Structure 1
Amino acid sequence: MDDQTDSPDDFHATCLRTAAQARGLATRYVQGVYSRFHPYPSRWLRFEIDGQGYLFASGMLLIEGPNPWRGLGLHINEEAALLTRDKQRAKDFLEAQGFSTPAGRVFRRNDLSAALAAFPSFATPVCVKPNQGAKGDLVFPGIADRVRYERAIRRVAAQHQKILVEESVTGQLIRFFYLRPRVVAVKLSRPASVVGDGTASIAQLIDAKNRLPRRQELHGHSDIEVDDDLLDFLAMAGRSLDDVPAPSERVFLRGTSNGATGADSIDCHRDLHPSYIDLIAAACTTVPGLNLTAADVMIRDPSVPAQRGNYWILELNRNPGIRPYHFPWRGEPQDIAGAILDFLEQRAATASAPPATSCEE
């Protein structure tokens, strides 16, 4: 069944639809599932480039076509699936290619005792998260005590088969959007935070930020939710909601940097040393079959040239969202939707080009 209306909650698809229509490409929404193992999303934006159909939803791009294993088509990163679905495996691969990643170990849920007993073997702080998670869900960085470590292990194990424990690195989290063979956009993903004025409490500052008209207008910038994880993060820093930050003091409220958890997306081109663009493009290009991804990279000092010990590639996202680039909290919008269409048009042109020939005299 076709549906011509824009999805009320998939602004990623809306961005791509707007860009496609600006180029004269016909678009429509269709229903279907990627596979029986991956039934969501079920509503897709469909468009064609040079006769080839594509489907897009929630950051996932499919090449339309009959396939015995897929209901709609092949994922744009199908050949890289084994790596991109497994965070530790992807890091091991990149490390072997000479790129810096945080050290980590994977534990299985059916051997939970081994994961719980391993705490003394790690140099703290550590980050605990699902090895195949997404959207920053159940990610617990900066853990330095056993009680919090065991609680995080149990929470991840309750929903996931594999638990990743890795070195918790610090710096600024930069997301590099990659379309083979280059990085086409970058943004700083700043964790949920508030800035003190010397009189308001953290709780009051959160409420004021959530009520900003600009926050309501920007797609992808969710309200900061006060939950147990936020309270625990503050407690690790020795703070509470009643604290009154000093004027201009920025107080971070979470260790994760996802829009769904209240993070801010910021254009950071001016503050980022250009060597990181080349470095991350090279890293992504080494992964066979990886055509479209967002690489999350923790950088100790983005103004300093890239060198081992100054950066760590955390993960490669196979279904990266695009709306935070189009609607930044600060800075100029970046046309990721247009870049994706450029990539697909170039892909079509390359596929239709006649093979090269040579003559010998």
Structure 2
Amino acid sequence: MFSRLTRARRLLDFQSVLQRRRMLPIRAAFYDNLWRSAASDLGAEVEVARLGLIRIRRDGLVTHVQRSNLPLDDALTSLVISDKLFCYESFLARDLPVPRHAAFTLTELGQAEAFLARIGQAAVVKPLAGTGGGMGVTTGVIDKAGLHRAARYAAGFGPNLLIEEEVSGPSYRLLYLDGQFIDAIRRDPPSVTGDDKHSIGQLVGRENRRRLAPPVTALSPLRIDSDMKNTLARAGLSLAYRPAKGERLVVKGAVNENTASDNHSVKGIVHHDIVRRIGDLVQAMAIRFAGVDLIGGDLTRPLGECGSVINEVNVNPGIHHHMLVRDPAIAVPVPLLILEHLFEERTGVMMP
């Protein structure tokens, strides 16, 4: 028999699934428009193919895309790179900074408890592999009870789990295509702004309704989950708190569910040492279209001096993060750069 807590968690997860499904048409339309616009700028033709693919033709060649999925990295590469522990081992082998971490399962919670006590600060608990977009992730884990809750939640996405120190500071995504550095963004965490009338929970609901209406500012809902509750609790708040008018409150530690106003194009600030070393990394790991996440630090300095850690590497990372930005006028035209590369290098294309 499920406990009341288990039932509540299952219901919350079910509600999250429904919220995400409601945004699927918005996501599909956004990416369709994104690729059509880039193809038009390139003088290519576009048609919707079967299986939910977009077919793009130019100069007698054809390529297919699906949202951020490109015909470059195979399914096996994606599966291997989804193993976060393997990635950390690869980073360390190249003398690259990573957060302190430990792998465990629900039967090995004692090891995770010992790790949490040893680092003496907040931790992040997540599935070891097979998820993305912040699914199964809980930040702000500070005690045994919170660790157990986070571990049970993460285990719903897979039996192997990871606990790591929570690194403070900004979150960056560096984007590479066949080893070439094409963009960087700073992703600030999701927040709500008070109006002196509504609680945080109500403001989150309003934000989710806003995301369902044009103009598009986000492709994911802002979920009420353990991450949000922990983030608020650390600030001495709860979902029932009613912020004053104009009071801005960060509501999650994970950045995946932020909005366009939270994303900032910062390609120009990234130090050439970081560009080179991360480029060498993704090429060594045989990832052709890669998004590498760095947490904390100052990217204007060399990697060994900037204070950042490499948190994750993603295959076929979300392009929308680079297009839904606070200042679209300075956004790097990532879809256009991708199509130019595919057709000019005759890679990821076929002859129909």
Structure-2 residue corresponding to 1:36: none
Q: TM-score, structure 1 length as denominator? A: 0.75
Unaligned runs of 5+ in 2: 1-24
CA distance in 1: counterparts of 2:208 and 2:348, whole angstroms: 47
Tell me the secondary structure at the aligned position of residue 321 of structure 2. helix
Structure-2 residue corresponding to 1:66: none
CA distance in 2: counterparts of 1:180 and 1:301, whole angstroms: 25
Kept in 1, the 8 Å contact 2:126–2:137? The answer is: yes
Q: Deviations over 1:112-169 (max 9, x none)?
A: 2213553123313221111221111111122111111111111111221321222221
Tell me the secondary structure at the aligned position of residue 283 of structure 1. helix
CA distance in 1: counterparts of 2:142 and 2:187, whole angstroms: 23
Structure-2 residue corresponding to 1:54: 63
Structure-2 residue corresponding to 1:129: 126
Deviation, 1:92, is 1.0
Q: Structure 2: which amino acid aligns with 1:61?
A: L
Q: Structure 1: which amino acid aligns with 2:271?
A: P
Deviation, 1:94, is 1.6
Change (3 A) 1:272 1:203: farther
Deviation, 1:277, is 3.2
Is the counterpart of residue 31 in structure 1 residue 40 in structure 2? Answer: no
Q: Structure 2: which amino acid aligns with 1:318?
A: V
Deviation, 1:314, is 1.0
Structure-1 residue corresponding to 2:109: 115
Which structure has the higher relative contact order (CA within 8 Å, separation 6+)? 2
Tell me the secondary structure at the aligned position of residue 103 of structure 2. strand
Structure-2 residue corresponding to 1:281: 279
Deviation, 1:235, is 1.3
Q: Structure 2: which amino acid aligns with 1:22?
A: D
Q: Deviations over 1:229-250 (max 9, x none)?
A: 4233211321124545578764
Larger Rg, first or second structure (1 or 2): 1
Q: Structure 2: which amino acid aligns with 1:138?
A: G
CA distance in 1: counterparts of 2:293 and 2:138, whole angstroms: 16
Change (3 A) 1:47 1:138: same
Q: Which has the higher helix share?
A: 2
Q: How does 1:282-301 map to 2 (within 5 A)?
A: 282-287=280-285, 289-301=286-298
Instruction: State which of 86, 89, 98 in structure 2 corresponds to 1:89.
Output: 86
CA distance in 2: counterparts of 1:191 and 1:143, whole angstroms: 17
Tell me the secondary structure at the aligned position of residue 9 of structure 1. helix
Q: How does 1:1-361 map to 2 (within 5 A)?
A: 9-10=27-28, 11-32=30-51, 43-48=52-57, 51-62=60-71, 75-77=72-74, 80-81=77-78, 83-108=80-105, 112-122=106-116, 123=119, 124-132=121-129, 133-195=131-193, 202-203=200-201, 206=204, 216-220=214-218, 222=220, 224-227=222-225, 229-243=227-241, 250-259=248-257, 264-269=261-266, 272-275=269-272, 276-287=274-285, 289-308=286-305, 310-332=307-329, 333-348=331-346
Deviation, 1:258, is 0.8
CA distance in 1: counterparts of 2:152 and 2:209, whole angstroms: 35
Deviation, 1:257, is 0.7
CA distance in 2: counterparts of 1:16 and 1:239, whole angstroms: 42
Considering only aligned residues, what root-mean-square deviation do their CA atoms show, in Å?
A: 3.4
Kept in 1, the 8 Å contact 2:54–2:65? The answer is: yes
Q: Which has the higher strand share?
A: 1
Change (3 A) 1:304 1:193: farther
Kept in 2, the 8 Å contact 1:215–1:221? The answer is: no
Kept in 1, the 8 Å contact 2:322–2:334? The answer is: yes
CA distance in 1: counterparts of 2:74 and 2:103, whole angstroms: 24
Q: Structure 2: which amino acid aligns with 1:300?
A: G
Deviation, 1:329, is 3.1
Tell me the secondary structure at the aligned position of residue 22 of structure 1. helix
Kept in 1, the 8 Å contact 2:169–2:296? The answer is: yes
Kept in 2, the 8 Å contact 1:271–1:303? The answer is: no
Kept in 2, the 8 Å contact 1:61–1:319? The answer is: yes
Kept in 1, the 8 Å contact 2:211–2:221? The answer is: no
Unaligned runs of 5+ in 1: 1-6, 33-42, 63-74, 352-361
Tell me the secondary structure at the aligned position of residue 133 of structure 2. coil
Range with greater deviation from structure 2 (202-211 or 319-328): 202-211
Deviation, 1:100, is 1.1
CA distance in 1: counterparts of 2:217 and 2:247, whole angstroms: 26
Q: TM-score, structure 2 length as denominator? A: 0.77
In the alignment of these two chains, the number of paired residues is: 319
CA distance in 2: counterparts of 1:93 and 1:263, whole angstroms: 32
Q: Structure 2: which amino acid aligns with 1:9?
A: R
% of aligned pairs identical?
24
Tell me the secondary structure at the aligned position of residue 316 of structure 2. coil
Deviation, 1:106, is 2.4
Deviation, 1:318, is 0.8
